[in-house]
Amino acid sequence: MAKLQPVRGTHDLLPEDSRRHRHVIEVFRDVAERFAFGEISTPIFEFTEVFKRTLGETSDVVNKEMYSFTDRGGEEVTLRPEYTAGIARAFISGGLAQSLPLKFYGHGPMFRYERPQKGRQRQFHQLDAEILGVSEPLADIEVIALGAQLLEDLGIAEVTELELNTLGDPESRAAYRDALVTYFSGFRDKLSDDSVLRLERNPLRILDSKDQGDRCIIEGAPDMGDYLNDHSKDFFAAVRGGLDSLGIAYRLNPRLVRGLDYYTHTAFEFTTQALGAQGAVVAGGRYDGLIEAMGGQPTPGIGWAAGIERLAMLVGDVAAAKRPIAVIPVGDEAEDDALELTHRLRRDGYTVDLGYRGNLQKRMKRANKLGASAALILGEDERAQGAVTLRDLDTGEQVLIPLPELTDRLSAYR
């Protein structure tokens, strides 16, 4: 029988990785709730149509990367490749239009069939933040500020940079699209195959191409700024002014785009040079046309997603788990008393480990391997005196303590 391995592109979160992973989520939850966002959790799979409508039937995600299948009831369902579509669906199906504006945050696993590499897996985890029902630039400023505060509280703001651009309103975007089609059509025979397809379907996405031949052509492409109408210019100026007033630094990147037509105005990414090719750690934008494209009432929205694995790699070491106290019975007769003592200490809020077998030496070896701060030794002499021996595993000092006094004497090891 072949040796069992995790599916390619997936990984196990062992205790140390899980602690770092959880740290990112806990910091995010704290920051999001300080910004008055409410937590939302949507199903891990949706009807496939949800993602086809939001990501576009011609997108690489839909055509190449989605984990889709027919369930036993004959329904076409897909493991979610991103969070925003599920939140938009929840907004529509839950009849939440009467509750606007809404501010949501969430986190959980996503699934895409991609080539695994550092910071990019087929099952990965994301943080997500969304504001629905606010058309004013203030929402853009607030959601970017939330991302900036997250990075600051994680201690990694200094290794990231905010990149900012505008896609303009639908009128400006359409004019820019036409300009790109005209420009890139002149290089059709030199573009990569993917970019030739994008020229017909989604020309803005050519600006995302990593093909070196495409990159040379892209350098001469028109800039979005030349096609903005007055409303779009004023909107972007308000966003920039708000970020300036908050002291949030940014770099303008005219090549930062979002390919789908429901994206408007602000596009942004917090990027880093510390993770190789996977430079974006927080990415988002305004999607005023999304909910209408899904069949709901026109509803403005803006949000971002962040890869937990990437953030965890930047964070590095986090506070270690609490050091346990090891309860060590000596002899079979002490097992029941040790079990009762362990249970009582755990109820009192202590982190306690009770080994399952072995003599004193083996159990002490286990306690040291766990990094225990102290050991409570319960043998025949201790039981006869109604006491326990407390051994400090850092200093080696030990003292006999009557059981009624134990909780007070253990306060230093909590």
CATH number for the domain harbouring residue 356:
3.40.50.800
- Does residue 398 share a domain with residue 256? no
In a domain, 208, yes or no: no
Contacts of 291 (CB under 8 A, 6+ apart): 88, 91, 92, 132, 297, 298, 299, 301
Distance CA 78, CA 44 (A): 9
Rounded average pLDDT over 332-344 = 91
Mean of all residue pLDDT scores within the chain: 90
* Secondary structure, 3-state, 352-405: EEECCCCCHHHHHHHHHHHCCCEEEEECHHHHHHCEEEEEECCCCCEEEEEHHH
pLDDT single digits (tens) 76-86: 999 999 999 99
- C-beta of residue 269 within 8 angstroms of C-beta of residue 249: no
CA dihedral sign, ordered 71, 74, 79, 84: negative
What count of residues does the chain have?
Answer: 414
- C-beta of residue 55 within 8 angstroms of C-beta of residue 260: yes
Query: pLDDT grade, residue 331 (50/70/90)?
Result: confident
Tell whether the model's pLDDT for residue 275 goes beyond 70.
yes
In a domain, 178, yes or no: no
- Does residue 86 share a domain with residue 148? yes
Hey, what are 153's tokens? 């509280």
Tell whether the model's pLDDT for residue 327 goes beyond 60.
yes
In a domain, 27, yes or no: yes
Tell whether the model's pLDDT for residue 276 goes beyond 80.
no
**Domain boundary, last residue among 315, 337, 366:** 315
Q: What is the CATH number of the domain that holds 282?
A: 3.30.930.10
pLDDT single digits (tens) 174-223: 898 888 888 988 888 888 888 888 888 788 888 878 888 888 888 888 88
CA proximity to 31, closest of 296, 287, 282, 402: 282
In a domain, 131, yes or no: yes
- Does residue 158 share a domain with residue 57? yes
**Domain boundary, last residue among 283, 315, 347:** 315
In a domain, 344, yes or no: yes
Q: How many CB atoms lie within 10 A of CB 105?
A: 22
In a domain, 211, yes or no: no
CA proximity to 359, closest of 330, 336, 319: 330
**Domain boundary, last residue among 278, 295, 315:** 315
- Does residue 127 share a domain with residue 234? yes
> 0.85 cut: is pTM over it?
yes
- Does residue 346 share a domain with residue 305? no
Distance CA 195, CA 211 (A): 9
Tell whether the model's pLDDT for residue 255 goes beyond 90.
no
In a domain, 217, yes or no: no
Q: Which domain holds residue 69?
A: 15-169+229-315
Contacts of 173 (CB under 8 A, 6+ apart): 167, 261, 264
Rounded average pLDDT over 332-353 = 91
- Does residue 303 share a domain with residue 265? yes
- Does residue 132 share a domain with residue 264? yes
Task: State the total domains in the chain.
Answer: 2
- Most confident listed range (130-134, 178-182, 251-255, 390-394): 130-134
Query: pLDDT grade, residue 278 (50/70/90)?
Result: low
- Does residue 163 share a domain with residue 237? yes
